[in-house]
Amino acid sequence: MTRAETLRVELDDRSYDIVIGSGLLPDTGKYVAPFARAAGVVILTDSNVEKLHLLTVEASLEAAGIPHRSVVVPAGEASKSFASFESVVEQILAFGIERSTLIIALGGGVIGDLGGYVAASLLRGLDFVQIPTTLLSQVDSSVGGKTGINSKSGKNLVGAFHQPRLVLADTAVLDTLPKREMLAGYAEVAKYGLIDEPDFFDWLENNAEAVIARDGAERKHAVYRSCAAKARVVSQDERESGKRALLNLGHTFGHAFEAELGYDGRLLHGEAVAIGMVIAHDVCAAMGMAPAQDTTRLMNHLQAVGLPVRASQVSGVHWDIDRLIGHMSHDKKVRDGQITFVMTRGIGKAFTSREMDVGKMRAAISRSCRAD
Ligand SMILES: NC(=O)c1ccc[n+]([C@@H]2O[C@H](COP(=O)([O-])OP(=O)(O)OC[C@H]3O[C@@H](n4cnc5c(N)ncnc54)[C@H](O)[C@@H]3O)[C@@H](O)[C@H]2O)c1
Ligand SMILES: O=C(O)C(=O)C[C@@H](O)[C@H](O)[C@H](O)COP(=O)(O)O
Ligand SMILES: [Zn+2]
């Protein structure tokens, strides 16, 4: 077995490990065995990951004597839908499952969110294991138990908190990931530095290229550090009643862009988050609470790695600011009709507040949407 590092998400009654290493996928059976029963496992994956990595996982389960079946959905955000949820649930029920059947979500955040919600719903709750295969899912979505699908009204509006039993992150599988997807995941890596780890942001400024380019020590460090940050927050605030909301930095804006485009792939989640994080810094600078140089520093870094930093970079879209602000009203951080925003005093100094200057926010969104 390859050398792996293990982190633990500490929760009252459902603590679990995050195992991170290079070349773990062929050992899936050994890692999953403690959670698999005679009823076996159902692997949920998407049409891209099926071609690249499903056989490795199936062979490993075979070798470990674990009965398995697979369900494949089309790749992409559109699979986080009611239609896809129904189709997956019906296919799995037709297999004849039991409460001890284990679900494995093998794929990116779409598969993790959909698979986790399917697991939460089937027979009122099956155990599941996350095997994240994108940078985004390895550093963020596989950890923390937020599962769900999108609705016409907005992003992730239907779902459940359902923690996995194990997260198995093989950094070598990222070698097959397209560059654009790698960059989208990188936005969520940078997010941890921006929230409260300025030293990590400094490190990323010097090492981003290596993190993105190859399965080496830098990539493993970035995945480990991101998971450690997320595990810490989730252990303290599993259900987002306080600190966990910081993980939403840039998301109130980013989700509005995604919803407006109907999740059609013109803007990936991580790209939307990159643009949203810039808006968050920009509006806080305009409100006089953060140094304007930090917005510039953030934009320079994201641009240097190849991420979009303005909504105007999505070609052929004329953004309607009122509609974008309308989408924001569906944010899950709305209380008593008011959004709790993730604001910042500068890089590494994020905080939550309801004291948003709506005029300055509108201006910051407009600056992002305007080509210049
Ligand atoms: N639950 C959470 O806490 C959380 C956190 C962040 C994001 N999310 C959600 O995650 C989703 C985005 O996840 P994502 O960026 O992983 O997208 P994704 O799941 O769509 O994967 C991106 C693309 O990469 C392909 N792919 C996956 N692994 C591959 C591999 N190893 N090699 C080649 N291709 C591969 C997929 O088929 C897909 O086309 C969004 O829906 C977002 O809302 C959830
Ligand atoms: O885990 C969390 O908490 C996050 O907010 C992580 C985000 O990166 C992620 O996109 C999450 O799905 C957003 O959650 P939502 O509750 O705003 O839909
Ligand atoms: Zn996110």
Confidence band of 3 (pLDDT split at 50, 70, 90): confident
Structure tokens at 164: 């996995």
179 is catalytic: no
Average pLDDT over the chain reads: 97
According to the model, what pLDDT value does residue 372 have?
67
At which residue do the structure tokens 């609470």 appear? 289
More confident residue, 312 or 2: 312
124 is catalytic: yes
Handedness of CA 22, 25, 28, 29 (dihedral sign): negative
Pair 22, 173: CB distance under 8 Å: no
pLDDT tens digits for range 322-349? 999 999 999 999 989 999 999 999 999 9
Rounded to whole angstroms, how far apart are CA atoms 312 and 94? 46
Pair 148, 117: CB distance under 8 Å: yes
ipTM of the complex: 0.99
Residue type present at position 259:
A
Q: Kindly name the residue from 68, 219, 230, 327 that is annotated as catalytic.
A: 230
Rounded to whole angstroms, how far apart are CA atoms 98 and 90? 14
C-alpha count within 13 angstroms, C-beta hemisphere, residue 125: 7
According to the model, what pLDDT value does residue 1 have?
43
51 is catalytic: no
Pair 89, 73: CB distance under 8 Å: no
- 352: β partners: 342
220 is catalytic: no
At which residue do the structure tokens 């989730």 appear? 234
Query: Is 191 annotated as contributing to ligand binding?
Result: no
Q: Whose CA is nearest to atom 43 of ligand 1?
A: 269
Kindly report the CATH class assigned to 185-369. mainly alpha
Q: How far is the CA of 95 from the centre of ligand 3 (A)?
A: 33
30 is catalytic: no
Q: Whose CA is nearest to atom 9 of ligand 1?
A: 109
pLDDT tens digits for range 217-261? 999 999 999 999 999 999 999 999 999 999 999 999 999 999 999
CB of 144 sitting under 6 A from ligand 1 = yes
Within the chain, which residue ranges are assigned CATH 3.40.50.1970?
A: 4-176
Pair 298, 347: CB distance under 8 Å: yes
Residue type present at position 175:
D
Query: Is 111 annotated as contributing to ligand binding?
Result: yes
244 is catalytic: yes
Rounded to whole angstroms, how far apart are CA atoms 300 and 298? 5
pLDDT tens digits for range 343-353? 999 999 999 99
Task: Tell me the H-state helices in 122-175.
Answer: 135-136
Percent of the chain scoring above 90 in pLDDT: 97
Query: E strand or H helix at 22, and its extent?
Result: none
Angstrom CA distances, 33 to 9, 16, 102, 219, 337, stand at 20, 15, 10, 27, 47
338 three-state secondary structure: strand
To test ligand 2's pocket by mutation, which of 141, 142, 248, 267 has the most ligand atoms within 8 angstroms of CB? 248
Question: Which residue, among 278, 264, 267, has the nearest Cα to 191 in the 3D structure?
Answer: 278
Q: Kindly name the residue from 3, 124, 152, 318 that is annotated as catalytic.
A: 124
Within the chain, which residue ranges are assigned CATH 1.20.1090.10?
A: 185-369
Sequence-distant (≥ 6) Cβ neighbours of residue 112 within 8 angstroms: 105, 130, 132, 137, 141, 142, 147
Q: How far is the CA of 360 from the centre of ligand 3 (A)?
A: 24
Q: Which residues line ligand 2 (CB under 6 A)?
A: 140, 144, 146, 155-156, 188, 240, 244, 247-248, 251, 332
To test ligand 1's pocket by mutation, which of 24, 134, 266 has the most ligand atoms within 8 angstroms of CB? 134
- 68: β partners: 41
Q: Kindly name the residue from 251, 301, 310, 327 that is annotated as catalytic.
A: 251
**Closest ligand to residue 162's CA:** 1
To test ligand 2's pocket by mutation, which of 141, 146, 194 has the most ligand atoms within 8 angstroms of CB? 146
Torsion of CA 77, 250, 138, 120, to 10 degrees: -60
53 is catalytic: no
Instruction: Give CATH for domain 4-176.
Output: 3.40.50.1970
80 is catalytic: no
